[in-house]
């Protein structure tokens, strides 16, 4: 005897499409030069100074306590959270072009 397996898909016709913001990675612009730690492939760290006006993209938490891992000019750095989130850095909002239209099942029903 065979087993019958059935699946059902629910399509909501007439549901409105919606505008969804693309996932944004936090970005900041430094208003003064700050020290950061850069690790080489072997794991040796060195202190470097990121320039005033540098745009940093937060990659995630750092293995260093109290730090974020940030990207600047395609290089990874570790920077203290207090320095990045302080009054001397400005959050950069993503441009409006990052928004996109979500295609939903409603279009398929038209």
**pTM, entire model:** 0.63
Average pLDDT over residues 78-102: 77
What are 22-58's pLDDT values in tens digits? 456 899 999 999 999 999 989 899 999 999 999 999 9
DSSP sequence for the chain: ------------TTPPP-EEEPPPPPEEEESS-EEEEEE-TTS-EEEEEEPTT-EEEEEEE-SSTTEEEEEETTEEEEEEHHHHSSTTEEEEPPPGGGEEEPP-HHHHH-
Measured CA to CA, the distance from residue 89 to residue 66 in angstroms comes to 17
Of residues 23 and 81, the one with the higher pLDDT is 81
What is the per-residue pLDDT for 80? 92
Average pLDDT over residues 64-80: 94
What is the per-residue pLDDT for 73? 95
Q: Which domains occur in the chain, in start order?
A: 22-100 (2.30.30)
């Amino acid at each position: 005897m065979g087993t019958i397996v059935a699946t059902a898909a629910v399509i909501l016709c007439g549901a409105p499409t919606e505008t969804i913001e693309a996932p944004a990675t936090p970005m900041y612009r430094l208003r003064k030069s700050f020290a950061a730690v850069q690790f080489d492939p072997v794991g040796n760290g060195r202190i470097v100074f990121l320039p005033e006006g540098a745009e940093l993209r937060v990659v995630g938490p750092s293995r260093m306590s109290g730090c974020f891992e940030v990207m600047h000019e395609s290089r990874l750095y570790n920077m203290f959270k207090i320095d990045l989130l302080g009054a001397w850095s400005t959050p950069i909002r993503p441009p409006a072009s990052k928004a996109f239209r979500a295609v939903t099942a409603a279009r398929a029903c038209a």
